Structure 1
């Protein structure tokens, strides 16, 4: 059983993640599960509830035991790396707030895993997706809505949560948009003309008023548009177009970045447009481009045949 002091500390840390760092609820839920599972393991491993002072006596050996136990429970290296990251973040916070020595926890090495490369669509396929979206419903305003959202993902590189988070107060869209992304980080995103025009067509057709404190993109009954609804629509579109299962709404954002890079875009500028905290995340698209070039090489070079 987790000690009351450790449980209270966990709740305070989650509140900090929400209020000061702007973590979404899905992330908070995952953090809570990951750290709770870790604390429960340490409690059982040591045979007694671990108060805050006891937590700083966690050893490197015990960290290895937890990681081995978690892997043995069927958790893959990518998921284990995520869990370890949450635990380390919690202990950094404990160190700053309670003066707990976190060295053993922070020195635990994350497992290596093969990073999945984004799977962008070709420019023609991306345009085909946008052109096909409006034919997935008998209600014209809903077709215009889906087209507007996906055009924002592809034309501006927005995350789906960022597009669906737009409020009536953000209208009318100008040539740039202030977006609050992960961790509450703000960025300015240029809005291309096709994206502005798609949103304008949707607004003109939408049966619900664009109130300042209400979401721009509405569901069929007027509530906020559920991202799952858009994902299901994209699934129908990719089946019609014969696209792979990786052709998701988020793939449109990947396509935005990859197509900019292919056109000679600066990696730092693309990082700012996407709202990536680390350049290494944006550099993934360099790997995508290299992978694509190697595929072309393998198909066309005489010595590769």
Structure 2
């Protein structure tokens, strides 16, 4: 399993090692990443739809997702609250004019991954009940996605040194890792599975396209579906709580967004928390995006 984890992680580091200067190529990469994400999510759904006894496992999956979401939410927010008490972060006044319609559009966009998985589930259940290459195709697609994301991270105009020197962003990322680790250990008896697998589930940080396929490839489509739902719900909950929390406790709002703070939830963070929150969100989101596949791969390899 260690070899498989390293093979999945290698494209991320290889992509991060390459510097590109062609803007047109970076634009193509951006749209390719977006298309690949939805393709991978549809494959995840396809694997779920092809799973024997899917209907009988839905109740158990709902309980597992609920446990993950609730325990991680409480642990992450408690850790971020303690960080706020120790080193408070101040936000600028809210930019109300930039909230509204843009926020609603983002919230609706957060439902698109669920639709992609649903299409895959229905296809696997009714149309393609037997497609033996689904798992291999998903794995190769994920490796390509990680390579392209590595390119994006390297060529986003971000200095790794400056990101690591952003103490607030670094602190948020570390608190999220530590609190997720503690939450994972608390979840071991609830989920009734090996501790290393539970910790792998806890380290998705909202990156649902990654966690769903990595966990599904290692633990089966049911757990892949659980990992996906846990992380997509983090994104949806983050969109809901950011406007409520960021005015008084910006670090908590940014931190719960996890890896999405550098991309999907960033516009909501900017419009509600001001420009001062943007470097912190990018720093914490970048670090968590980099750590998520590494931590999942390491803990899954311990099995």
Q: TM-score, with normalisation over the residues of structure 1? A: 0.27
Q: Which has the higher helix share?
A: 2
Q: TM-score, with normalisation over the residues of structure 2? A: 0.27
Q: Based on CA coordinates, which of the two structures has the bigger radius of gyration?
A: 1
User: Which is bigger in relative contact order (C-alpha 8 A, separation at least 6)?
Assistant: 2
